[in-house]
């Protein structure tokens, strides 16, 4: 049984109160307008939710991964679009700098990112290199005290708003992952541009963009660790990112369950609330059971990461289970709501769309199964 410390319970409760009072009321309108939640993100920064892993010396709140998972689930319960901005900032943009950055890099970038003054993004995926992350086609070459980058990145969350971009490029495409380098890019550098903002099915208040690097010059001091070691950075970062998406999935799933219970108690059919019907009761029971199982897997992965253990398989199991549970619960929530569930008047329609991305980004369900199988069979 997992027991929350007093501090962890306080973090969860703070996130829950803020999410339900400040984020949830505007979620439907943000979904319709696609408006980036600038003010909410600034508030999350002020509250310490954008630099949760960052030590105090770099301006963060120096909390554990478990606290982050608790907080992120609550934020995503209200709006998964807001939650993914928080997830990318913590798990994908800040984490690689914290894990692999030099002291100079940490002092330069982490304080502004932890406070929310600077927004970060993580640019790994390319038009032809999604699941095959080692096949980076973005090229780089050294030119004196700089590197020059040329290429295109796709599906980059926070791309249009980002001030800092952790990205990857290849010194030798033929070497695949053995030629990959990781860089910290400041997006106001000449040669960096946002070429397209995607019109997405869900999580619509978080912007997803295509980024183009054309002769983008990056100081050599902005390379993360050694040349040709970027793939290691990418894989270590994705472990933490997958735990974050598992937490996001839990928030979506829990909201689906809570709305379904409330609707089942109110909706009358055949002279009684549909909550009295066994068909509905079994749906509720399955939703709750699957959520609890996914939550335990997610909490285990977070606890193991806090303990400094290798979590590749555990993070993949948590992400696989939680993302598929989110989609299951969203489906059942729409089913329980009947025709109303297909209407934009009811929130479960948005949750259904938001849930769909969770089995795709940070590695598809198929990739998670490959990771788990490889670990099992080694």
Is 362 assigned a catalytic role? yes
User: What is the distance between the alpha carbons of residues 23 and 17, in angstroms, rounded to a whole number?
Assistant: 9
Given the residues 126, 332, 347, 362, select the one marked as catalytic.
Answer: 362
Distance CA 2, CA 347 (A): 31
Cα 252 to Cα 202: distance, rounded to the nearest angstrom: 12
- Which class for 92: exposed (0-12), middle (13-18), buried (19 or more C-beta within 10 A)? buried
- Specify whether the CB–CB gap between 352 and 333 falls below 8 A: yes
- What is the rounded radius of gyration, in angstroms, for the C-alpha atoms of the chain? 21
> What are φ and ψ of residue 42, in 5° steps?
-60, -40
376, 316 contact by CB (below 8 A): no
d(CA 256, CA 246) in angstroms, rounded, equals: 15
Burial label for 214, CB within 10 Å (0-12, 13-18, 19+), is middle
Q: Which residues are catalytic?
A: 362
């Amino acid at each position: 049984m997992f027991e929350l410390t007093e501090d962890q319970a306080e973090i969860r409760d703070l996130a829950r109160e803020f999410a339900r009072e400040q984020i949830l009321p505007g979620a439907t309108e943000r979904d319709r307008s696609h408006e980036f939640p600038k003010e909410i993100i600034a508030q999350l920064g002020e509250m310490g939710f954008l630099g949760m892993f960052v030590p105090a010396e770099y301006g963060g709140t120096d909390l554990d991964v478990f606290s982050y998972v608790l907080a992120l689930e609550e934020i995503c319960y209200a709006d998964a679009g807001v939650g993914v901005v928080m997830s990318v900032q913590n798990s994908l943009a800040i984490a690689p700098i914290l894990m692999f950055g030099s002291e100079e890099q940490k002092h330069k970038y982490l304080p502004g990112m932890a406070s929310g003054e600077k927004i970060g993004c993580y640019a790994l995926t390319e038009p032809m290199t999604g699941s095959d992350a080692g096949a980076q086609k973005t090229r780089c070459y050294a030119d004196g005290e700089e590197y020059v980058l040329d290429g295109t990145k796709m599906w980059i969350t926070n791309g249009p708003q980002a001030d800092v971009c952790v990205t990857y490029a290849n010194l030798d495409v033929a070497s695949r992952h053995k030629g990959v380098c990781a860089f910290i890019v400041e997006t106001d550098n000449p040669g960096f541009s946002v070429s397209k903002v995607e019109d997405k099915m869900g999580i619509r208040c978080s912007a997803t963009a295509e980024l183009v690097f054309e002769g983008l010059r990056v100081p050599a001091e902005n390379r993360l660790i050694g040349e040709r070691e970027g793939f290691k950075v990418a894989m270590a970062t994705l472990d933490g990112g997958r735990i974050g998406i598992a937490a996001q999935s839990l928030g979506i799933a829990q909201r689906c369950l809570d709305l379904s219970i409330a609707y089942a108690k109110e909706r009358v059919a055949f002279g009684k609330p549909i909550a009295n019907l066994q068909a509905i009761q079994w749906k509720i029971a399955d939703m709750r059971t699957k959520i609890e199982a996914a939550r335990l897997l997610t909490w285990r992965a977070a606890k193991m990461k806090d303990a400094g253990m290798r979590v590749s398989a555990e993070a993949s199991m948590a992400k696989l289970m939680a993302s598929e549970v989110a989609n299951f619960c969203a489906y059942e929530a729409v089913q329980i709501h009947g025709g109303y569930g297909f209407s934009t008047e009811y929130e479960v329609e948005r949750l259904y769309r938001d849930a769909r991305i969770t089995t795709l980004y940070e590695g598809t369900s198929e990739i998670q199964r490959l990771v788990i199988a490889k670990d099992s069979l080694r």
